[in-house]
Amino acid sequence: MIKIFENEEEVANEIAREMKDHLFTDQHPVFCLASGSTPQKSYQKFSNDAGLQLKIKRLNIVSLDEWVGIDKSSEGSCYQMLNQDLFSQISLDSRQIVFFDGTSPDMKQECLRIDHFIEQHPITFSLMGVGMNGHIGLNEPGSPVLNYSSIVELSETTKTVAQKYFHEQTELKQGITLGLEQIASSKRVVIVITGEHKAEIVKEIFTNSDTRLPAQQLLGYDHIDFFLDAAAAKYMDQSS
């Protein structure tokens, strides 16, 4: 389902509410969360809720993706962004975070490690963003639909857009990511797209079935909603 909100603030309020609901009501809450600029406001609102600390020790967070070759402590790593925006704000213990190691000497084993964790601890809430090229996590357009964690070749669009997260030009070639099937198997999935700069890709996702973008693979599920603000939905028919 597509839900269109007036502005980014309303989107963030609703996402923070859902995150809190799942933290409190899921018996064993496991969140899979996108990093980057889009969900920052949602994480801020969630972490500012003083009532969370009673339940936060029940939460586990599993990695969505990471840049291959980038240490988690490095500026621009997916871990570092989430640590800054969320982990450090809610006093999350490192044992509660199961994250891809982009510098592992055995990346196949790294995929198996995360897959095994998810098999043992099913994801109850996923928050995904959508890239400028329609990617989800690091599942890139034109690539096979992945069922499990995999090493992927990054698109030129992703390599270029990702530079905004680094202080200096950084060579990125590959990523490690959950597969779309793992994301879709979450108990609940919210896909958030905000800002006028995403309006063109939103139009592609919802009106051009020929493109077969990764984001389009998550359409049609009852438990998956797309949250848009009015700016991102500017080319959508909002009368229907």
Note the pLDDT of residue 240: 42
- Residue 126 to residue 225: CA distance in whole angstroms: 11
Look at residues 32, 213, 67 and name the one whose alpha carbon lies nearest to residue 153: 67
Write the DSSP assignment of 125-154 as a string of letters.
EEEEE--TTS-BTTB-TTSPPPSS-EEEEP
How far is the C-alpha of 233 from the C-alpha of 9, rounded, in Å?
A: 15
Per-residue pLDDT in tens (0 to 9) along the chain, 240 residues: 999 999 999 999 999 999 999 999 999 999 999 999 999 999 999 999 878 877 899 999 999 999 999 999 999 999 999 999 999 999 888 999 999 999 999 999 999 999 999 999 999 999 999 999 999 999 999 888 889 999 999 999 999 999 999 988 999 999 999 999 999 999 999 999 999 999 999 999 999 888 889 999 999 999 999 999 999 999 987 544
Q: What is the pLDDT of residue 50?
A: 73
Check the CA dihedral 197-154-213-61 and report its sign.
Answer: negative
Backbone angles phi, psi at 214, to 5 degrees: -55, -40
Domains of the chain: 2-229 (3.40.50.1360)
Strands 60-62 and 224-229: unpaired
pLDDT at 238: 55
Q: CA-CA distance, 102 to 112, in Å (whole number)?
A: 14
pTM, full prediction: 0.94
Q: 36-66 burial, b if ≥16 CB within 10 A, otherwise e?
A: bebbbbbbebbbeeeebeeebeebbbbbbbb
> What is the pLDDT at residue 239?
40
**DSSP 8-state symbol, 62:** E
